[in-house]
Structure 1
Amino acid sequence: MSSIGTGYDLSASQFSPDGRVYQIEYAGKAVEMSGTVIGMRGKDGIVLAVEKIVTSALYEDDAATRIFTVDKNIGIAIAGLLADGRYIVDIARQEAANFRQQFERTIPLKQLTERVSAYVHAYTLYSAVRPFGVSVILASWDEEQGPQLYKIEPSGTSFGYFACASGKAEQQAKTEMEKLKFAEMSVDDLVQNAGKIIYLVHDELRNKDFHFEMSLVSKETKGLHRLNPQPWYDQAVQSGLAAKNEDDSDNEI
């Protein structure tokens, strides 16, 4: 950090002389230290995939999951501080439950994203709180709107995407995704490419072990958000392992 920022990083409500809010940038650094999370939207579904770094061989396989169900057709994946992410998931579930109680239907994803992003942004405004060190990707599918994909940054900014990524290998994942034509992709294509991308961007030198997590919400799941669904999960893993082995073979030549 340059000397010009000295003393201006103690509060989330204070700007530095060059117009930066350092607390938000620190929250972004927390996201960058996390395993890679991607979301991809095809013509009739959404796939969320996570590189869950295994920090202890003693953990159970389903410990520290980073993909959650908010409502029956809405899924959320988190990158960054896991505790912060779980709190945001709880807020999203409360908003979805309140909307369902009031209107007797599932909350539209755009509305849910706006409510959660406003909540996240509120934590960048006051000196008594700190920004959430988490970036979240939300996905849904329904008969009216079709597939929808949104991402919320630690600053509270949110956008709709065809594909997005967060975490350590965000830029590498984006480079791989920019080669694809998502508007034409089926669920099987999305699943296979999700596996390829997560396995290819994993850095074995820095983090030897990781667990692949995936969720799917689409017409084929009857609009239900499903975590590690079969047979799609096995397709993704096989595709990822094949791509990784091919990449290793190319590097050895």
Structure 2
Amino acid sequence: MQPLRPVLAGPEGSKKRLFNVDRHVGMAVAGLLADARSLADIAREEASNFRSNFGYNIPLKHLADRMAMYVYAYTLHSTIRPFGCKFMLGSYSVNDGAQLYVIDPSGVSYSYWGCAIGKARQAAKTEIEKLQMKEMTCCDVAKEVAIIIYIVHDEVKGKAFELELS
């Protein structure tokens, strides 16, 4: 007999953790999903406002700094709670190449070549450090990342596992 799904669990695939922020920016999150959706909406608004004001896509460094300031502002006052999620912003452009920023719930922004967030992040970071990413194509890196996710996944918990690449 299979366990019943809780009624409040929502439909299959409703707990997506990857978001499109702009034409050239994607966002991956770990932590509270409601906070993540709120931050994804703020990031979309920032990118849209930048494009309408300046006429070109927002640079990822600028978006990461704006989002870090926004998240940091929620740590300053005791009347509002801080965001309960950590998120990555990734982008590729012809001029700047591939970029990756991670924003902590404290409002600190870091730039990385490769990083992992969420459960088993330390094991995933160890596997990422073994890769020679500068010598690999994008398709090869995507395949290796999928393999790393499968390696570090904890099968003992028995939770449903869905791999989403974007």
Whether 2:93 is the aligned partner of 1:142: answer: yes
Instruction: Give the AA of the match of 1:157.
Output: V
Report Cα offsets for 1:180-230 as digits up to 9, x if no partner: 112222112111111101111111111431110111xxxxxxxxxxxxxxx
Q: Distance in 2 between matches of 1:185 and 1:196?
A: 15
State the SS of the aligned residue for 1:175: helix
CA shift at 1:60, angstroms?
3.8
Aligned partner of 1:64 in structure 2 is 15
State the SS of the aligned residue for 2:27: strand
Which runs of at least 4 in structure 1 moved beyond 3 Å after TM superposition? 55-61
Report Cα offsets for 1:64-93 as digits up to 9, x if no partner: 111010001110001000000000001101
| 1:1-253 equivalent positions in 2, closer than 5 A | 56=5, 59-215=10-166
CA shift at 1:175, angstroms?
1.0
Q: Distance in 2 between matches of 1:182 and 1:59?
A: 37
CA shift at 1:171, angstroms?
0.6
TM (norm. structure 2) is 0.92
Query: Residues 144 and 212 from structure 1, CA distance in 2 versus in 1: closer, same or farther, beyond 3 angstroms?
Result: same
Instruction: Give the AA of the match of 1:129.
Output: I
Aligned-pair Cα RMSD in Å: 1.6
Q: Which has the higher contact order (CA 8 A, sep 6+)?
A: 1
Higher gyration radius (CA):
1
Q: Distance in 1 between matches of 2:18 and 2:111?
A: 19
State the SS of the aligned residue for 1:151: strand
Q: Distance in 2 between matches of 1:208 and 1:83?
A: 20
Aligned partner of 1:5 in structure 2 is none
How many positions carry a matched residue from both structures?
A: 161
Question: Which blocks of at least 5 consecutive residues in structure 2 are unaligned?
Answer: none
Instruction: Give the AA of the match of 2:161.
Output: F
Q: Distance in 2 between matches of 1:56 and 1:67?
A: 23
Q: Distance in 2 between matches of 1:74 and 1:97?
A: 12
- Percent identity of the aligned residues? 49
State the SS of the aligned residue for 1:162: coil
Instruction: Give the AA of the match of 2:144.
Output: N
State the SS of the aligned residue for 1:71: coil
Query: Residues 171 and 68 from structure 1, CA distance in 2 versus in 1: closer, same or farther, beyond 3 angstroms?
Result: same
Query: Residues 56 and 167 from structure 1, CA distance in 2 versus in 1: closer, same or farther, beyond 3 angstroms?
Result: farther
CA shift at 1:59, angstroms?
4.8
Question: Which blocks of at least 5 consecutive residues in structure 1 are unaligned?
Answer: 1-54, 216-253
TM (norm. structure 1) is 0.61
Instruction: Give the AA of the match of 1:161.
Output: Y
